[in-house]
Amino acid sequence: MIRLAIATITITIAMGITIAMMDVAMVIVMRTATIMTIEATGAEPAVVSGDDCDARALFRLMTWLSPSYPVGAFAYSSGIEWAVEAGDIHDAQSLRDWLIFTLENGAGRNDAIIMAETYRAMRARDANLMSQAMEMALAFLSSRERHLETCAQGRAFHDITCAAWPYEGVELVESQRQRDIAYPVAVGAACAGHGIALLPSLHAFVHALCANWISAGVRLIPLGQTQSQHVLASMEDSIARIALAASRASLDDLQGAAFRADLASMKHETQYTRLFRS
């Protein structure tokens, strides 16, 4: 019986190793086939497959939406500076509440929808939808400073990305140069032009937007770095929910109910002392 048990265990282990080796071999075969295809045709595989980012797509999203990408995002607070002075935001919890509401009912949600529609316009090469997305992006800006914030970043993102990361179809955006380019439009066009899947693109965009808002709060309240990370961690579900909702929405779903945030942006224009441009 002992010998039989040992033999059974040995066979089981051998089968497991064999299956594992077969899996590894299959991966090697598939990778080799891909490399041979690239060498034979000169064409690289798609950046993504379905909704999963590969290394190149992840690299680009991390680069474009990093605080170090030179679009000047650090200079804008989206009205948070006035909200801190007015006392609406005074600690980590009040910052979180302000940002969650703005994300789900104001600029955050609308920017995500604009980005998604721009993405679809670029993929379909639909000049009419692109024009509508660009027009609505500007129409939903509640103040002069919001216009400055999104258009300055949008133009910088577009110009830098086209210079360092050129992509096909950019003429669809260039044909609308008589209009200012809002930041979500520029990001959506680049993600589509590089073949990065929509949902991870939206998730990265919304995450970067919220992280920049929190960074402003850290400097204005002020908050410690650990507290700021608690705020960002607590927004994880909201960010994912808005990204998913935006991926399924259209321009008809644009709306806004974050009136206090809109007023904060307007009030900031005449604020006596300011660290931020908005």
Q: Report whether pLDDT(139) > 80.
A: yes
What are 162-196's pLDDT values in tens digits?
Answer: 999 999 999 999 887 667 999 999 999 999 999 99
The pTM score is 0.81
What are 214-243's pLDDT values in tens digits?
Answer: 999 999 999 999 999 999 999 999 999 999
Q: 127 Cβ partners below 8 Å, 6+ apart?
A: 121, 172, 175
What are 34-86's pLDDT values in tens digits?
Answer: 333 333 333 333 444 444 558 999 999 999 999 999 999 999 999 999 999 99
The percent of the chain in helix, strand and coil, each rounded to the nearest 5, is: 70, 0, 25
Q: Report whether pLDDT(16) > 90.
A: no
Q: How many CB atoms lie within 10 A of CB 102?
A: 25
What are 198-210's pLDDT values in tens digits?
Answer: 999 999 999 999 9
Please, what is the average pLDDT of the chain? 84
Q: Which pLDDT belongs to residue 14?
A: 39
Largest pairwise CA distance in the chain:
88
- Contact indicator for 185, 114 with CB cutoff of 8 Å: yes
Q: Could you give the CA distance from residue 249 to residue 117 in angstroms, rounded to a whole number? A: 8
Q: Which pLDDT belongs to residue 174?
A: 85
